[in-house]
Amino acid sequence: MSNLLSVENLTMKFGGLTAIDDLSFDAKHNQITSIIGPNGAGKTTVFNCLTGFYKPTNGQMFLHKDDSKISLRKYTDFKIAYVAKVARTFQNIRLFPAMSVLENLLVAQHNELMVASGYSLFGLLNLKTYRDKEQLAVDKAKYWLDIIGLTHRADDNAGDLPYGDQRKLEIVRAMCIEPRLLCLDEPAAGLNPKESAELNKLLKFIKTEKQTGILLIEHDMSVVMGISDHVVVLNYGKKIFEGTADQTKNSKEVIEAYLGVDE
Amino acid sequence: MEKKDIIQSFKDSLFTGLIALALFGPIVGLRTASKGEGLFITPQWGIVFLLVGLCILGRFLINLNSARKTEITFFSKFTSKFSAITEDKAKHFAITAILFAVVFPFLPFTDRYFMDVAIMILTYIMLGWGLNIVVGLAGLLDLGYVAFYAVGAYSYALIATTFGWSFWICLPLAGVFAAFFGILLGFPVLRLRGDYLAIVTLGFGEIIRIILINWYEVTNGPDGITGIPRPSFFGLPFKRSPDEGETSFHLFFNLEYSTMHRIIFLYYLILVLALITNYFTLKIRKLPVGRAWEALREDEIACKSLGVNPTNTKLTAFAIGAMFGGFAGSFFATRQAFISPESFTFIESAIIVAIVVLGGMGSQTGVVLASIFLIGITEMFRDLEQYRMIAFGGAMVLIMVFKPKGILANRKPTILMHGDKK
């Protein structure tokens, strides 16, 4: 299996604080790579570097596409999602609460629709080419809503959905940009066991059917152990362990990091 | 109701009275009067006690009422009437309103004064609709919207007086200039949100006004620009005695000359301009760019994570909002035939923002209702002269008390998957 993402010697410093210290790891195509670690280990900072919200102090991040590789450092801001096709979700859900579920999914397809609407010109003239493209976008949204079972709520405000559904909606919204790499920041936070199981199913579906690599930050070990192909463990910004889920479970370093060392 | 409640209400209303005394005491109680060789203070304690008494009584009644957990019938009637106007009914309302607006000049009671007020209200409606794109949809609180109104008015006035081009050429040009200024303002404020954005836009509005005052060679400074050409009816001017080789409107249509012709024409002009603004906004709201504006208002970081370019999206909102402000400005210039920086003070921006916010952010019909309510009430009390702004403030307070989210706060999705169920 070939690499999808390689992070090389990533370092991020905030003043005197080193949040990430010389971190290197790879994530492969069609795999779920989990990043775990105690609170404050620097997991979300890794995500923020990858998705262009922070500019890392040092190090490189490459996204492999066919035989070429593109450096994520070059892209900032919205271009990470637009050009490099790296999508992300957030620890605290960031939907557009006052917009409908369907609209949320259409905003994710903004760039294609913008071109289709001739930068609004064709749209204002209500040309058929635009209306057809818009219908395609709605169909795509419907496809994803069917998968998470929210089609019947498509016209309700996203903010009115139950918490678990909002989580799922945020994930499929990110999928609507057709990402190569999907970064999920604690998708199972606040979910009940039934919802966590549904989430596992959704992530497995994305992995196998959509051929999208997934990078996952998670505290819920039932999710991590259930679906991860590869686990990277961070503590104080450093990688302390890397391996399969089973190896991680039995690793001495990981247990020490989480539970402390016997005196 | 328990005795304790009554005592509590009474205490509260006494406290209200204390605040009222502190306010009314110096403002109303001490009146300066010039007698002979200087200013003297004449106390008016009678009025002060009357006002304070009214405040105490009013507060006491409201307290009693809320303790009973029921509303005074008058108030509940008032609020239910307003909440009855939902977006669903808004469509019928809109059609009725447009029909009414079309026949308005020919109604029997319509006189010159009514027409002037109607034109003023329509101008504010158009400005409200223009600003609604920036504030209501894109969520960028712009307190300097009057700057674009001024740019439009001055562009029109300067082009028309310098080159003598017709209204129909100058109008789009003024819109383009205003849009350009919208982008000019947009660039430095891209990173700002909320309060900070509001302060910078407020400053921008003042900068434009001060440039207009001081750039004497071009704008004629505080003297303003006079003799701005009036619009013509497809080449037919509204003049009693047209120039050599010209036919005027009343001669062409064989009518008795009347100044009302021009007023009616101006009325329809602003009506059409306003309706174009409305149509455009309703259309663009349903396009990707419109949805991106609203998404930006909801959550900018989420927008970035989905690949929406916030720079372009914000700039288009500023530019398009400014363009409609510019159109309204051209209309203002051609209606008045005279403009000066005095017409573009901060209070104008404040009124337009008030209209948008009180109407219910993003609601087109709300803007209409708020304009009619705010401008209409202020006009109704014109006899009170400088005190009529109290009516304006009172109208704002009424809306805020009874409809804190604006007159029409319901948002309808721009696209539906299951069609209209209701």
Q: What distance in Å separates residue B70's CA from the closest CA in chain A? A: 29
Report the chain A residue with the minimal C-alpha distance to residue B282: A124
Q: Is B102 on the interface with A (CB under 8 A)?
A: no
* pLDDT of the residue at A129: 82
In this structure, what DSSP letter does residue B337 have? S
Q: Residue A96: which of B287, B299, B418 has the nearest Cβ?
A: B299
How far apart CA B282 and CA B133 sit, in angstroms, is 10
Both tokens of B337, joined, read 């035939």
Cβ neighbours of A141 in B, within 8 Å: 417
- Only one residue has tokens 């999710």, namely A223
Q: State percent of chain A over pLDDT 70.
A: 99
Interface of A with B in 85-114 (CB under 8 A): 87-90, 94-100, 102-104, 106-108, 110-111, 113-114
Separation of alpha carbons B302 and B292, rounded Å: 11
Contact A177 B284 (CB under 8 A): no
Domains in chain A: ranges and CATH = 1-85+180-263 (3.40.50.300), 95-178 (no CATH)
Q: Of B347, B330, B283, B313, nearest to B129 (Cα)?
A: B283
Whole-model pTM?
Answer: 0.83
Structure tokens, B96: 């009725």
| pLDDT, tens digit, 9 for 90 and up, residues A92-102 | 999 999 899 99
CA distance A175 to chain B (A): 10
- Look at B263 and B71; give whichever has higher pLDDT: B263
> Which two structure tokens, joined as six digits, stand for B5?
């409640």
Half-sphere exposure of B236 (CA within 13 A, CB side): 14
CB atoms B416 and A102 under 8 Å: yes
Q: What is the DSSP track for B61-109?
A: HHHHHHHTT---HHHHHHHHHHHT--HHHHHHHHHHHHHHHHHGGGSTT
> d(Cα B353, Cα B124) in Å, to the nearest integer?
10
- A33-81 pLDDT, tens digit per residue, is 999 888 888 888 988 888 888 888 888 888 888 778 888 888 878 888 8
For chain B, percent of residues with pLDDT exceeding 90? 29
**B414 interfacial to chain A (CB closer than 8 Å):** yes
Tens digits of residue pLDDT in B234-288: 777 777 777 766 777 777 777 777 778 888 889 999 999 999 999 999 888 888 9
Give the count of alpha carbons within 13 A of B53, CB side only.
Answer: 6
Please indicate whether residue A29 or residue B180 has the higher confidence score (pLDDT): B180
Distance from CA of A125 to the nearest CA of B (A): 10
Interface of A with B in 164-203 (CB under 8 A): 173-174, 176-177
Q: Between chain A and chain B, how many beta carbons pairs sit less than 8 Å apart?
A: 128
* CB-based contact A103 B415, cutoff 8 Å: yes
Which residues of chain B have a CB within 8 Å of the CB of A138? 415, 417
Query: For residue B321, is pLDDT > 70?
Result: yes
Q: Do A96 and B298 touch (CB under 8 A)?
A: yes
Query: Which of B87, B285, B287 would you mutate first to test chain A, the one with the most A CBs within 10 A?
Result: B287
Å between A187 CA and nearest CA of chain B? 15
Task: Write the ipTM.
Answer: 0.88
Does the B85-231+270-402 domain belong in CATH 3.40.50? no
Q: Which of residues 130-149 of B touch A (CB under 8 A)?
A: none
Residues of B in contact with A111 (CB under 8 A): 307-308
User: In this complex, is the C-beta atom of B415 within 8 Å of any C-beta atom belonging to chain A?
Assistant: yes
When pLDDT is averaged across residues A232-252 and rounded to a whole number, the result is 86
Domain spans, chain B: 3-70, 85-231+270-402
Q: Are A130 and A118 in contact (CB under 8 A)?
A: yes
